[in-house]
Every structure is written in structure tokens, then in C-alpha cells.
Amino acid sequence: TDVHPSHFIRDIVLADQESGLHSGRVQTRFPPEPNGYLHIGHSKSICLNFGLAEEFGGQCNLRFDDTNPEKEETEYVEAIKADVRWLGFQWAKECYASDYFQQLYDWAEKLISDGKAFVCDLNAEETRAYRGTLTEPGRPSPFRERSVKENLDLFRHMRAGEFPDGTRTLRAKIDMASPNLNLRDPVLYRIKRAHHHRTGDAWPIYPSYDFTHGQSDSLEKVTHSICTLEFETHRPLYEWFIAQLDIFPSHQYEFARLNLNYTVMSKRKLLQLVKQGVVSSWDDPRMPTISGARRRGTPPLAFRRFCETIGVTKFNGMTDIALFEHTIRNTLNPIAPRRMAVLDPLKVTLTNYPEGKVEHITAINNPEDAAAGERQIPFGHTLYIDREDFLEDAPKKFFRLKPGGEVRLRNAYVMKCDEVVKDAAGNVIELKCTVDFATLGANPEGRKVKGVIHWVSAAHAVQAEVRLYDRLFTVEKPDGDKEHDFMEFINPDSLRTVTACLEPELALDAQKVRDQISANAQLPLREEGSGVDSAMRPMYSSDLRVQFERVGYFCLDEDSTAEKLVFNRTVALKDSWAK
């Protein structure tokens, strides 16, 4: 899509271009903390930051905000890079806040020398108590008036690892009476002996988010630093550091984060779901992660469209997950080939169709796309239809199959149900039917047949495991309830696995994907900055997305083998949660 939706941040960039700010240069960044996998919320920030850079001929950096060593891991760094690439974006530079640790340290010494920072011996609890509240001013730390010499000396000993964890901090000297709590002598450095995924054990002290973020932006000459609304009250601090250090004036802008109902999106909670085995992994198709959505069959274009639809504003609200699902359906409809699959097979014997006879029926692959062509579907004496398409005691408005009734077999004949076969317990186990041979591609004589159902030939059916995913939570706001933990609202039916019967074409489709994957297995994953999209190793779910007619959109899962096919339901054809 080449149309750029208008929003207030884009208007700011347009105005800056007009006024010639930074000579019209646009530099943004997407700054994830590598403490988990990216989720759908992050895609909003990714589309915004990379989208603005793309539109205005600028650049967007991928910056890992890695200042909390205990929670951060290289696995997360790699997963984040794969997700951003998969969404179709290419960063200009791959940066790490940890690469700036020495520079940040030097800037801290400068603030100390200028009398603008001091070493404080209060512990975390005392620091909080001294800070005051929104209604009550803070009290200055008893260590606030230390001399520059003493502060420098203590800070160097902190850096040398001579004090126990948590015993001292470096704090800015700003204003303990400020109505903005963030300006009440904020902490710049903490003592923490933790192994860092990049710097190892080189640093026993780590800078705070506030002391890192703006300076990192400034070092990268970021022109528009876009973050979520919670950071609005941090902006004066962001600007204070830049002014005191007299460095490149990056500017911060805030927008409302994306919140989705029926899910949680904090990485801490997502990690809990993985750790406690509620889901199988970060990329479990039920997870609201980008990798989960990818494995579920969501096309990357659906993310971009969704982000365009929801727009960028300053108002926090709740977005209906149904809107995302609707976008996925609309994105898949023109591109997903139609196939027939029976999820809950019921045997049908065609008593007037010769045993052993096989006919190949021509079917179009996609009514939305003439270029998708046609395929042949085998038809024979025994079929499977979906159990829910037959009702013994059917109401008047039931237009599918009932005893004595007629229905159109999709792409094939009109069929009449003559006899219902049951087992000893009274369960329907088979239907005996007849087809009207005059109805292939033609309307039946003298009567109307309203219903159309899908089917597969029993002799040709390919079995597959089909994973039917549903929402992970049963309530709209699983984490919005103070009385209950979000884990209490897990949907027990979020995954149902069935053995389905597929039309044989799907086995050929899957074979093509496997061939492509083995042909490309030697290809390296696309290297940063190489700009070579084609050299990316294909991924299962991005290569076979189909519509099971009348059922939903499905993709081939990476658990598939030559012996066993596995499909994931991306989204049902209709929203079963709509009221």
C-alpha cells in the first residue's frame, strides 16, 4: 500500500520538513528491550517508525535497549530481528544501548564535575520515601550536598565494583519540589553485578532508562523519537539531559499504545504463559506475539493494514481483536487458494455411483483471482462430508443435508439422502445417498436446491492433523481485574486438535513447500543491510496459506513431515464470538 495515512506525528514531520528542521532529515528508531518476543503492540511502533522513515526518505535504526541485564538474552535479540524483517522492514543500523555504556559513563562524570549529579547512599526504599508523592513534595537526600571531588571519587569506586549491589546510586540534582516526580533527583546509575548478554561482566553499574534513552537517540542523531504515552512525563528529563550535555537535540513525541481485548501484551505476562506451559512456546499460534501470528498463518501485510486502520492518536483505548481478524480475512481472501477439507468426517456412500469409478472434476482455485487457475478433484463412490452439515431432525431453515433432502456437493453433483445408517448406540455412522447425474454444472430440473456443502473422496482423502486455535482468554480484559489474576481467565478450549480428511491437492501443495525449503536450506538468513530479500529462507506458514472452503483460513505448520501434514487454523470464516 502506497497511501500514507495521515496522523498527528506525520503532520509534525511534515511541518518540520516545511521549516527545514535538521535540513529535512528524518531519522527514527525502534527501541525494543530484548527481554521477550515482540507482540502485536510492538507492530504499531514498528509500522510507525519504519513507515515514517520510508515515506520521508529517511532511516530507521533498530536499537536494543539493553540496560537490564538480568532479563535480557541473545535469543530475544535474534527473534526480534527475524520479526522486524518478516514484517518487511529493513533497519539502517543495528544499535545497542550497551554500546554506549562508556560514553554514558563519561557523560555521568561530566554531570558530576558540573555539580549536577551526586552519589547517594540511600537504599531503594529510602529513596522512594524521600521522593514524596504527587500531593507531597520530596525531601532532599542527606547526601545531596557532597562535594564534586567526593562524588567523583565515590562514583569511580562504584564503577570499580567496590561497593555491594544496591548500596549507592548516582542521582541527578534537579528539583525535589518539582510537581513532576521524574524530576526529583532521578537515579542515573545502580550498582548491580549481573552478567550482560553483550558486555559480560565489564560493568558492575548500569544506567537507568532515563539516562540512556535520550542520549542514545542523540548519538544516533534521531530527529523524531517516538514512544508511548507513559513517557510523556519523562520528556522534561529527556530534554534536561540533552541540554546539560549540550548534545544533538533529538525530540520525543508520544502516541497511545495499542491495547487489544481478549489478550495480554506485557512481556512479563507472556513469559509467564510460556514458563508455566499454558502455551508451547513464544511462537505458539495462540500467543499475541508477531512470531505466534506468523506461525498461525497471518500474512505480514495484515499487520501493516491493521496498523493503518487503527491509526495513531494520543487517546488510550481498547481495540477489538475482531478488527485484526477481519483484516486477516480480507488480506487472505484474494490470495488464499480454495481447497476442500472435512474436519469431522461422516461417510457417505453413493449407491447409484459405480464402485471403482473415478471422475476428475474441475474446480477454480480462487474466485477472487482468475490467475490462480484451476485444479482437478477426484470424485468417487464413497465420500466424506462434515458431520455438522447433516441433521437428522432438521429445522425448516436448515438448508444442508437431512433425511430425504437434497444438497449441492460443492463443484459437483446434487445429492439426495436416502438412508441413515446407525450403530447399536444410535449414532449416525453413514449416509446412503444418490446423485443426480444431470446436475454437474447445471441446475436440477423443476426444483431448487439451496444448500452447498464441501466433501472429499474417501479413496483419495489425505489425513492431516488440524489444530483449531481460538482466543487464549475468555474475557475481554484478562488483566484488568484487581480481584483475579489473568491466569484465571485462560480459555480451556483455545486449542482443539482434529484429524481431518483433505482433498489430495493439499498434499501436492505441501510437497511443493517442502521442496522449496530443502532447495533453500543452504541459503543464509538475510544479512543485515544486504537488502537481498530473495535470499531469505522461506518459512512454512508464509508459504502455504489456503482457505478450507466454508470453514476458514489455514496454513501448513512447520511440524509437518512427509508422512504427516499439520495445518493451523489462522482464522475462521466467520467471527464466532460476535454477539
Query: Which residue ranges make up the site for ligand ATP (CB under 6 A)?
Result: 31-33, 41-42, 44-45, 65, 227-228, 257-258, 265-267
Selecting among 81, 146, 267, 295, the annotated active-site residue is 267
CA 77 to CA 62: how far, in whole Å?
10
- Residue 60 interface partner, choices Mg ion, ligand ATP, none, CB cut-off 5-8 Å depending on type: none
Torsional class of 138: left (φ above 0), alpha (ψ -120 to 50), beta (otherwise): beta
Looking at the Cβ atoms of 65 and 509, the one nearer to ligand ATP is 65
Selecting among 10, 144, 192, 257, the annotated active-site residue is 257
Find cell 456437493 and name the residue.
Answer: 409
Neighbouring C-beta atoms of residue 571, cutoff 10 Å: 21
- Residue 41 interface partner, choices ligand ATP, Mg ion, none, CB cut-off 5-8 Å depending on type: ligand ATP
**Angle of helix 8-19 relative to helix 40-55, nearest 10 degrees?**
20
In angstroms, give the least distance from the CB of 212 to Mg ion.
Answer: 11
Looking at the Cβ atoms of 64 and 107, the one nearer to Mg ion is 64
- Residue 44 interface partner, choices ligand ATP, Mg ion, none, CB cut-off 5-8 Å depending on type: ligand ATP
CA 61 to chain CA mean position, Å: 20
**Could you tell me the three cell numbers for 189?**
546509575
Q: Which stretch binds Mg ion (CB under 5 A): 25-33, 106-114, 297-305, 370-378?
A: 25-33
Three-class SS of residue 20?
Answer: coil
**Could you tell me the three cell numbers for 436?**
443426480
Classify strands 495-502 and 341-342 as parallel, antiparallel or unpaired. antiparallel
Which amino acid is present at 148? V
In angstroms, give the least distance from the CB of 229 to ligand ATP.
Answer: 9
CA 156 to CA 169: how far, in whole Å?
12
Looking at the Cβ atoms of 265 and 428, the one nearer to ligand ATP is 265
Looking at the Cβ atoms of 209 and 399, the one nearer to ligand ATP is 209
Selecting among 10, 25, 33, 432, the annotated active-site residue is 33
CA 101 to chain CA mean position, Å: 31
In angstroms, give the least distance from the CB of 185 to Mg ion.
Answer: 22
Binder among 7, 25, 33, 333 for Mg ion (CB under 5 A): 33
Q: Which stretch binds Mg ion (CB under 5 A): 32-40, 188-196, 350-358, 560-568?
A: 32-40
Should residue 239 be labelled a site residue for Mg ion when binding is judged by CB under 5 A?
A: no
Q: Which stretch binds Mg ion (CB under 5 A): 27-35, 130-138, 275-283, 394-402?
A: 27-35
Establish whether 267 is a catalytic residue. Answer: yes
Looking at the Cβ atoms of 33 and 239, the one nearer to Mg ion is 33
Establish whether 33 is a catalytic residue. Answer: yes
Looking at the Cβ atoms of 32 and 299, the one nearer to ligand ATP is 32
CA 343 to CA 282: how far, in whole Å?
27
User: Rg of the chain over CA atoms, in angstroms?
Assistant: 30
Neighbouring C-beta atoms of residue 28, cutoff 10 Å: 28
Residue partners of 61: CB distance under 8 A and separation at least 6: 27, 28, 29, 30, 91, 92, 93, 94, 95, 220, 222
- Residue 545 interface partner, choices ligand ATP, Mg ion, none, CB cut-off 5-8 Å depending on type: none
In angstroms, give the least distance from the CB of 68 to Mg ion.
Answer: 8
CA 396 to CA 246: how far, in whole Å?
79
Establish whether 159 is a catalytic residue. Answer: no
Between the alpha carbon of residue 535 and those of residues 191, 264, 509, 515, 558, the distances in Å are 44, 35, 22, 16, 19
Question: By beta-carbon distance, which residue lies closest to Mg ion?
Answer: 33
Footprint of Mg ion on this chain (CB under 5 A)? Answer: 33
Residues annotated as part of the active site: 33, 257, 267
